[in-house]
Amino acid sequence: MKTISLLTLATTTAGCYCGAFGGNGDQFYKRGNETLTICAQGGFIMNRDSGPIEGVFGQPTPESPDPVFDDGATGARAFTLVAADDGSVMTPELGGDPWQPLVYTDAQRDHADIPCEDLPHRPWWGTPAAHMPVDTAFAIPNPDRVDELCGQGDPTPSCNIELDLCVGMQLAVGRDGSRSDGAFTINYGVVSGHWYTADGKQTELAGMYTADGVLTTTDFYGGQGQTRWTRIPPDPTKPVAGCR
């Protein structure tokens, strides 16, 4: 197993753009019924059995051994890419089976490049990896409301603690009708933030936001474990409360 750098991807995706055929700089892989296209302009399309993922890739830091691929619509980390000596690639977060390279004719490559050409028209295209593309709300159960109503799915907001990450990089925590504000950073799914309680105490938060809609952070309750925040499905008619 070996690592694959952005320089390697740039070299292998910088094909000739002359002539009648497109897609000369793209890379194509297959794993069972699933396909992965790494586009020359810095995007990707993965068609999985569970559904498609589109986004961009890059390297979080110069020391990062492998390129990281972000879900463009959410800003969450989708997977990392690790190259094998036989030309296949691995995506450890998505299972251990390798992706095998596909060899296309010029015409096949040109046709397979069409989704890559569409990516720059997505609303999230051009959003830096260090920014959230959309206001996003997460929730965990409120330990102060472990009662019958909340257990039955009562929609009362006090049943949950809400964490809001906003496009403007502000952060808000809502609990029992009160709200604490702060700020955060994100870089290829790695989240680090803080907020201030009513008495002025600063509380830290750090974790990883992944494409399954889960933000796994240091323990919100102050313990040594982890807290799994679940993304609240967006509602176009209801803006994220802490981002208004």
pLDDT tens track for 143-187: 777 665 675 555 556 788 999 999 999 999 998 888 999 999 999
Mean pLDDT of 128-156: 78
Whether residue 207 sits in one domain with residue 239 = yes
Whether residue 126 is contained in a domain is answered as no
Count, residues in the chain:
244
Last residue of a domain, one of 79, 98, 121: 121
Segment 188-218, tens digit of pLDDT: 999 999 999 888 889 999 999 999 999 999 9
> pLDDT at residue 10 above 60?
no
Question: What pLDDT does 153 receive?
Answer: 53
Whether residue 101 is contained in a domain is answered as yes
Last residue of a domain, one of 121, 145, 172: 121
Q: Domain with 111 in it: what CATH number?
A: 2.40.128
Whether residue 43 sits in one domain with residue 78 = yes
Q: What is the mean pLDDT of the chain?
A: 87
SS (H, E, C) 68-135: EEEECCCCCEEEECEECCCCCEECHHHCCCCEEECCCCHHHHHHHCHHHHHHHHCCCCCCCCCCCCCC
Is residue 17 very low, low, confident or very high in pLDDT (cuts 50, 70, 90)?
Answer: very low
Whether residue 127 is contained in a domain is answered as no
Last residue of a domain, one of 121, 156, 179: 121
Whether residue 72 sits in one domain with residue 152 = no
DSSP secondary structure, 14-77, as one string: -----SS---TT-EEEEETTEEEEE-TTSEEEEEETTEEEEEEEE-SSTT-SS-EEEETTT--E
Residue 62's identity, in one-letter code, is P
For residue 160, what are the domain limits?
Answer: 136-243
Whether residue 117 sits in one domain with residue 20 = yes
Tell me which of 72 and 148 has the higher pLDDT: 72
Number of domains in the chain: 2
**How is residue 125 written in tokens?**
């295209």
d(CA 99, CA 28): 9
Whether residue 150 sits in one domain with residue 83 = no
Whether residue 20 sits in one domain with residue 68 = yes
Mean pLDDT of 121-146: 90
Whether residue 161 sits in one domain with residue 71 = no
Whether residue 140 sits in one domain with residue 117 = no
Instruction: Kindly state the helix (H) or strand (E) to which residue 170 belongs, with its residue range.
Output: strand 170-175
Question: What pLDDT does 9 receive?
Answer: 55
Whether residue 166 is contained in a domain is answered as yes
